[in-house]
Amino acid sequence: MSKTTLQQLLRGAGYDLIDGPIRNQKPLQIWLKEGFNQPELFYTDILHAFNSKIKVRIQKDSSLSINGTHKNNYAFQIGITMLQEWMQSIGMPAVDFSASIGGGKKVSISYKNAITEVVPLGNINDFLSKADFLHPNPVLLRHANRNQLLIVTGVVTAEQLVAEIETDSNISSKMISALKKNAGNKFEFSSSKNNIVKMVAGTERFPIAVKASRIDFDKGRYKGLTLVTDGRDLF
């Protein structure tokens, strides 16, 4: 029986892994999605755009449990590329793995100490159904009527990324030392097997997955929410 991958677990719960370099996603943000453009942060909090007699609340979701057994496996060069993109996205030094590792078979990525924060769907629906703009705002109305507003209703954050790199050759202490030096000693490198390098990186919590819905307006009236993090990888 095959194990559930990290992507399968998240997608089944309505989340997309964050691909882009922007990692400031938080619950209750409003993002603007125009046509084929990438979403852009529009309001850092829904309360900066709308007011309502309904209070919105953010809570931890213990039903989505992510641990080290939930991994994504990638071909070697793809995995290395994704690691380098991740390092850049959170402001960590990029590691030139090719300088120490000649080649390999695959890279697996998982996360440690992940938590999920969500806004209950019923809560945000009640809020928006009774909401008004904070002040007259023709730009906000135009985007709302064009259904270009996305509301972030859930974010998964983690403290560390764990990568296991399966190489073509045996791992030496010299190779581990070179990787540590290349990373400015900011990442932990070790070897659990003869041909596998394990990297543990990260010291502060960062978002790894996001759940968002399109806000449906019709001529200035709120109609509902439509989940958009269903594999479209908008973020």
Same domain? For 59 and 169 the reply is no
In whole angstroms, give the CA distance from residue 184 to residue 145: 50
Please give the pLDDT value at position 88.
84
What pLDDT, on a 0 to 100 scale, did the predictor assign at position 124? 97
pLDDT confidence band for 162 (50 / 70 / 90) = very high
Q: Output the CA–CA distances (angstroms, integers) from residue 31 to 24, 149, 207, in the order listed.
A: 12, 6, 16
Asked if 118 and 108 sit in the same domain, the reply is no
93 and 7 in a common domain? no
Measure the CA–CA gap between 79 and 109, rounded to whole angstroms: 8
| Model confidence, pTM | 0.92
Please tell me whether residue 37 adopts helix, strand or coil conformation: coil
Q: Do 48 and 5 share a structural domain?
A: yes
Same domain for 3 and 31, yes or no, is yes
> Does 216 map to a domain?
yes
Cβ-Cβ contacts under 8 Å for 208 (sequence gap 6 or more): 17, 18, 111, 114, 156, 157, 158
Note whether residue 235 is domain-resident. Answer: no
Q: Is residue 233 part of a domain?
A: no
Candidates 156, 56, 166, 160; CA nearest to 103 is 166
Percent of the chain with pLDDT over 90: 70
Q: Decide if 166 contacts 122 (C-beta within 8 A).
A: no
Note the pLDDT tens digit of each residue in 86-121. Answer: 888 887 777 888 878 878 999 999 999 999 999 999
Statement to judge: residues 100 and 152 lie in one domain: no
16 and 108 assigned to the same domain: no
**Do 108 and 58 fall into the same domain?**
no
The DSSP line for 75-122 is EHHHHHHHHHHHHHHTTPPP--GGGT---EEEEEEEEES-EEEE--HH
Does residue 197 belong to any structural domain of this protein?
Answer: yes
The predicted pLDDT at position 93 comes to 74
On whether both 126 and 186 belong to a single domain, the answer is no
Any idea what DSSP says for residue 46? Answer: G
* Number of helices (H), then strands (E), in the chain: 5, 15
User: Rounded CA gap, 26 and 45, in Å?
Assistant: 9
Q: CA 49, CA 74: separation in Å to the nearest integer?
A: 41
Residue 59: inside a domain: yes
Q: Residue 234 domain-assigned?
A: no
Q: How far, rounded to the nearest angstrom, does the alpha carbon of residue 206 sit from its chain's CA centroid?
A: 8
Asked, for residue 47, whether it belongs to a domain, the answer is yes
Residue 55 domain flag:
yes
**77/58 same-domain check:** no
Tell me, what's the pLDDT at 25? Answer: 95
Give the pLDDT score at 197. 93
- How many domains does the chain contain in total? 2
- Which segment of 22-26, 108-112, 189-193 scores lowest on mean pLDDT? 189-193
* Amino acid 1: pLDDT: 37
| Residues 99 and 213 both lie in one domain | no
**58 and 14 belong to one structural domain:** yes
Contact partners, residue 77, CB within 8 Å, separation at least 6 = none
pLDDT at 2 over 60: no
For the chain, give the mean pLDDT: 92
The whole domain housing 219 covers 1-66+114-156+207-228
Identify whether the C-beta of residue 17 lies closer than 8 Å to the C-beta of residue 210. no
